[in-house]
Copies of this chain bind each other. A is one copy, B any other.
Amino acid sequence: MSDTSQTKVTLLAGGVGGAKMAEGLAALPDVALSVIGNVADDDSFHGLWVSPDIDTLTYSLADVIDRQQGWGVADEGHRALETLKTLGADTWMSLGDRDFGLHIYRTQRRLKGDRPSDITRDVVRAFGVSAEILLPTDDQVQTRVRTDAGWLSFQEYFVRERCAPDVRELSFDGITQAKPTPEALAAITSADLIVIAPSNPLVSIAPILSIPGIGEAVQSARAPKVAVSPFIAGKVVKGPADRMMAALGERADAVGVAQRYRDVVDALFIDHVDAALAPEIQTTGPTPICSAILMRDLKDKTRTAREIVDFHHDHARKGAAA
């Protein structure tokens, strides 16, 4: 633990699932939260730079998220997109008017040469979010998805094709040349606890951990590391992780998650319904912790976050006593 009264938690998070975990942790008064988000599903639409995962984190933590959808802004309109449709533009990517304001702002600052991390910091502050949202890299990394119809950008696969095609291969273009941001490295190094959110391991967490320097920093960090399984009874709450894991020959359950994170985390939170998988997870590497990990509302999110942070405290005490 740090010498302050707060526990410094660094969360690695994707979009919707990551944002739920971030909200739970942000609600704990004894936690100082830094979230390292995923930029590999960023894309350009109509000449504007769109960061879906980072924006979902921002909108969620600012409590302006559309709670029905889990993404986008509440009280949203689609007038700008209607004009773009009139003008013959491709409008399968649903971008709302409030959302467009942010994309316009970000694009203008990027074109001015401002560092993406600095832009994100200013956006997060302007939205009144007290947690930090950090980019793992300021360089461009882009998830590409190979299907039987060829390579697609992540948003083409996810939004335009609604995850219908089978995934044959994933690639993170630009990742080997990407440099980690000093902010992300510092948040990992100085953390009291590192948490991997119940996000898609393949397309949300992998493109964070695979940035040269980030995965290594997590592995060598002094903090205990825990992950929360995105799988409950072999299903994910949202998104294509189950089908994607299966299609790529990985186990689509909490054991598959343990295999993915075996070299990274000390413990894996799984749901009570998956208790039978605990021995196999233990054998794989991480210590399984059975809990109630389904997060439907803020109460669920806060309870899950509380258990993770308390587990860490117990762990730290046991470590000190040993």
A77 at the interface (CB under 8 A from B): yes
Please report the C-alpha to C-alpha distance between residue A123 and residue B48 in the assembled complex, in whole angstroms. 19
Known A-B contacts A97-B100, A100-B100, A111-B47; A105 and B84 likewise in contact (beta carbons under 8 Å): yes
Q: Which of A20-28, A85-93, A141-149 contacts B (4 or more CB under 8 A)?
A: A85-93
A80 at the interface (CB under 8 A from B): yes
Please report the C-alpha to C-alpha distance between residue A100 and residue B87 in the assembled complex, in whole angstroms. 12
A254 at the interface (CB under 8 A from B): no
From residue 75 to 129 of chain A, which have CB atoms closer than 8 A to chain B? 75-77, 79-84, 86-89, 96-102, 104-105, 107-108, 111, 122-123, 126-127
A91, closest chain B residue (CB): B101
Contact of A79 among B87, B97, B107 (CB under 8 A): B97
CB distance from A143 to the nearest CB of B (A): 23
A296 at the interface (CB under 8 A from B): no
Known A-B contacts A97-B97, A111-B47; A104 and B84 likewise in contact (beta carbons under 8 Å): yes
A123, closest chain B residue (CB): B87
Contact of A84 among B46, B80, B101 (CB under 8 A): B101
CB distance from A90 to the nearest CB of B (A): 12
Q: Is the CB of A101 within 8 A of B79?
A: yes
Please report the C-alpha to C-alpha distance between residue A222 and residue B127 in the assembled complex, in whole angstroms. 61
Contacts of A88 in B (CB 8 A): 122, 126
Contact of A126 among B81, B86, B101 (CB under 8 A): B86
Contacts of A108 in B (CB 8 A): 46-47
Contacts of A104 in B (CB 8 A): 46-48, 80, 84, 100, 104
Contacts of A99 in B (CB 8 A): 83
Please report the C-alpha to C-alpha distance between residue A81 and residue B97 in the assembled complex, in whole angstroms. 9
Contacts of A96 in B (CB 8 A): 79
Known A-B contacts A47-B107, A111-B47; A101 and B122 likewise in contact (beta carbons under 8 Å): no
Identify the 4 closest CB pairs spanning chains A and B, nearest first: A83-B101, A47-B108, A79-B97, A80-B101
Interface pairs (27), CB distance under 8 Å: A46-B108, A47-B104, A47-B107, A47-B108, A75-B79, A76-B79, A79-B79, A79-B100, A80-B97, A80-B100, A80-B104, A82-B98, A82-B101, A83-B98, A83-B100, A84-B104, A86-B101, A86-B126, A87-B101, A87-B105, A87-B122, A87-B126, A88-B126, A89-B105, A97-B100, A100-B104, A104-B104
Q: Which residues of A contact B (CB under 8 A)?
A: 46-48, 75-77, 79-84, 86-89, 96-102, 104-105, 107-108, 111, 122-123, 126-127
Assuming A77-B97, A83-B99, A87-B123, what are 6 further A-B pairs, CB within 8 angstroms?
A: A46-B108, A79-B98, A80-B98, A83-B100, A86-B126, A89-B105
